């Protein structure tokens, strides 16, 4: 058994770490405060080739190594959870969908610029009336002679306002259900396709989250991504991979919370000594470090299995569930260790706590992941 990263994986992690700590971290609080989208920083990430990491060379990527991709997300998230979410939602979900299921023509047109970081692809699964129950969208696609007509809406879509196109799920049979949902590629600017205003969120303020509206959107027969009627099953496959990314994102934010807390515990003095000398604080730090390292090991194992082309649904679900809950606990304890200062905007731990909370909700809530796991283990 070999627990070491390869030289290439270490080189990518170190390069992203330098970029994230030198260029992203110093600006993270300001992007959060102003809720601005990180376009200049995304352009830098495109220059560094980060968008190509999970995609094949034939489409402008650098090979598709899941481990390097997940490490990249962890490093970005350490500095700024919102940028990490923009990146992960694009690569794992929108562009990832085209990579796995797109036709050669769709890949030439959309995956290549997506892998070069020139365009973002959004993924529209959730609707106002169905999130966890993703097999039953109210968005409908009706077949016409020369194509499809889509009507409906999508809720909470990451990168909605900044994407060049969205992959959206629609029922192609009344009520949807297994065999009744199909994925469609809808380019921005298609008549009838519009994006609503930004939601006001608890955290991840620099990430773009908005609703999508489909009002008589006409697409050709080539608008389908993958197989007609297989959109739900394809989406489950996409979410399996996405969960490795959310686990890594959680670990990145959790590690930032731990690093800040370690530094604070050394410098803050109470009752004549640094608070890090009190057992109550030392044990919190020890628990945070243990849980985050276990979470990291879990996501790396799931990534390794995926890279070996072996089944990984169960491991990805475990990694996402454990990492998101462990990182939320870590961010919560980081506030406690900082005392009153932890509640203030000028210390980043309150941002970590707000940002990390999404990880227990997006790409499968903790409750849904426990259902997935119970099924996987035959319970
Ligand atoms: C910032 C942000 C970004 C997002 N980005 C995207 C995106 O890019 N694309 C996209 O498609 N979606 C996106 N989402 C949506 C997200 O994936 C959903 O919010 C999530 O899947 C939960 O769905 P819901 O909100 O409809 O909750 P619901 O499904 O209504 O769940 C409500 C509660 O009920 C529980 N519950 C539901 N069903 C069961 C059950 N069978 N057993 C036990 N408990 C259950 C849930 O766990 C939860 O606690 C985003 C959300 C946010 C907040």
Is pLDDT of 190 > 90? yes
Distance (angstroms) between ligand 1 centre and the Cα of 160 equals: 17
- CATH architecture type of domain 123-229: Beta Barrel (2.40)
Distance (angstroms) between ligand 1 centre and the Cα of 365 equals: 6
Instruction: Report the nearest-CA residue for atom 9 of ligand 1.
Output: 157
Instruction: Report the nearest-CA residue for atom 23 of ligand 1.
Output: 131
Contacts within 8 Å (CB) and 24+ apart, 233-238 = 233/178, 234/97, 234/100, 234/101, 234/183, 235/97, 235/125, 235/134, 235/169, 235/181, 235/183, 237/100, 238/92, 238/93, 238/96, 238/97, 238/100, 238/123
- Nearest by Cα to 41 from 102, 84, 5, 73: 84
Active site amino acids? 363
pLDDT tens sequence across 2-36:
899 999 999 999 999 999 999 999 999 999 999 99
pLDDT computed for residue 37 by the predictor: 96
pLDDT tens sequence across 308-364:
999 999 999 999 999 999 999 999 999 999 999 999 999 999 999 999 999 999 999
> What's the rounded mean pLDDT across residues 170-180?
93
- Nearest by Cα to 216 from 163, 127, 147, 134: 147
Ligand 1 close to Cβ of residue 358 (< 6 A): yes
- Nearest by Cα to 8 from 49, 59, 58: 49
Distance (angstroms) between ligand 1 centre and the Cα of 133 equals: 8
Q: CATH 3.40.50.300: does it fit domain 232-377? A: no
Per-residue pLDDT band at 371 (split at 50, 70, 90): very high
> What's the rounded mean pLDDT across residues 198-206?
98
Is pLDDT of 301 > 90? yes
Among the atoms of ligand 1, which is closest to the Cα of residue 93? 8
Is pLDDT of 145 > 90? no
Is pLDDT of 175 > 90? no
Over pLDDT 70: what percentage of the chain?
Answer: 100
pLDDT computed for residue 153 by the predictor: 98
pLDDT computed for residue 111 by the predictor: 98
User: Quick check: 140 and 150 in contact, CB under 8 A?
Assistant: yes
> What's the rounded mean pLDDT across residues 146-151?
96
Instruction: Kindly list the domain boundaries of the chain, sorted by start residue.
Output: 7-120, 123-229, 232-377
Is pLDDT of 113 > 90? yes
User: CA-CA distances (angstroms) from residue 303 to 101, 184, 252?
Assistant: 20, 27, 16
Among the atoms of ligand 1, which is closest to the Cα of residue 362? 17
Ligand 1 close to Cβ of residue 88 (< 6 A): no
Instruction: Report the nearest-CA residue for atom 22 of ligand 1.
Output: 131
Instruction: Report the nearest-CA residue for atom 2 of ligand 1.
Output: 156
Ligand 1 close to Cβ of residue 125 (< 6 A): yes
Ligand 1 close to Cβ of residue 375 (< 6 A): no
Q: CATH 1.10.540.10: does it fit domain 7-120? A: yes
Instruction: Report the nearest-CA residue for atom 50 of ligand 1.
Output: 156
Ligand 1 close to Cβ of residue 368 (< 6 A): yes
Is pLDDT of 47 > 90? yes
Is pLDDT of 138 > 90? yes
Is pLDDT of 64 > 90? no
Ligand 1 close to Cβ of residue 227 (< 6 A): no
**What does pLDDT average to over the chain?**
97
Ligand 1 close to Cβ of residue 161 (< 6 A): no
User: CA-CA distances (angstroms) from residue 215 to 137, 184, 206?
Assistant: 15, 14, 28
Distance (angstroms) between ligand 1 centre and the Cα of 362 equals: 6
- Pairing assessment for the beta strands 120-124 and 163-171 based on DSSP bridges: parallel
H or E element that contains 303: helix 279-307
User: Quick check: 73 and 50 in contact, CB under 8 A?
Assistant: no
Is pLDDT of 1 > 90? no
Ligand 1 close to Cβ of residue 94 (< 6 A): no
């Amino acid at each position: 058994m070999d627990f070491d990263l390869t030289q290439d994986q270490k080189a990518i992690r170190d390069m992203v770490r330098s970029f994230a700590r030198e260029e992203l971290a110093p600006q993270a609080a300001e992007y959060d405060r102003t809720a601005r989208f990180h376009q200049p920083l995304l352009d830098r990430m495109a220059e560094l080739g980060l968008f190509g990491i999970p995609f094949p060379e034939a489409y402008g990527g650098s090979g598709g190594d899941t481990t390097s991709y997940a490490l990249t997300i962890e490093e970005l998230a350490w500095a700024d959870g919102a940028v990490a979410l923009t990146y992960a939602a694009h690569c794992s979900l929108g562009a990832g969908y085209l990579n796995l299921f797109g036709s050669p023509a769709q890949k030439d047109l959309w995956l290549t610029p997506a892998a070069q970081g020139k365009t973002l692809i959004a993924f529209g699964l959730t609707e106002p009336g169905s999130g966890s129950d993703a097999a039953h969208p109210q968005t409908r696609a009706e077949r016409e002679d020369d194509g499809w007509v889509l009507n409906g809406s999508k809720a909470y879509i990451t990168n909605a306002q900044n994407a060049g196109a969205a992959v959206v799920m629609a029922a192609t049979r009344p009520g949807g259900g297994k065999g009744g949902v199909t994925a469609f590629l809808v380019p921005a600017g298609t008549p009838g396709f519009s994006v609503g205003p930004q939601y006001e969120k608890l955290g991840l303020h620099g990430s773009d989250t908005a609703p999508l509206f489909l009002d008589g959107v006409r697409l050709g027969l080539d608008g389908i991504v993958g197989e007609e009627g297989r959109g739900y099953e394809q989406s489950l496959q996409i979410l399996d991979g996405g969960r490795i990314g959310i686990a890594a994102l959680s670990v990145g934010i959790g590690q930032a919370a731990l690093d800040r807390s370690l530094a604070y515990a050394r410098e803050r003095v109470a009752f004549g000594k640094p608070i890090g000398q009190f057992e109550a604080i030392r044990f919190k730090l020890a628990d945070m470090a243990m849980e985050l390292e276990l979470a990291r090991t879990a996501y790396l194992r799931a990534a390794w299995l995926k890279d070996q082309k072996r089944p990984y649904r169960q491991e990805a679900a475990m990694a996402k569930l454990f990492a998101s809950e462990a990182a939320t606990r870590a961010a919560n304890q980081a506030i406690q260790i900082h005392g009153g200062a932890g509640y203030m905007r000028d210390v980043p731990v309150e941002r970590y706590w707000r940002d990390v909370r999404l990880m227990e909700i997006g790409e499968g809530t903790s409750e849904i992941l426990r259902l997935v796991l119970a099924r996987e283990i035959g319970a």
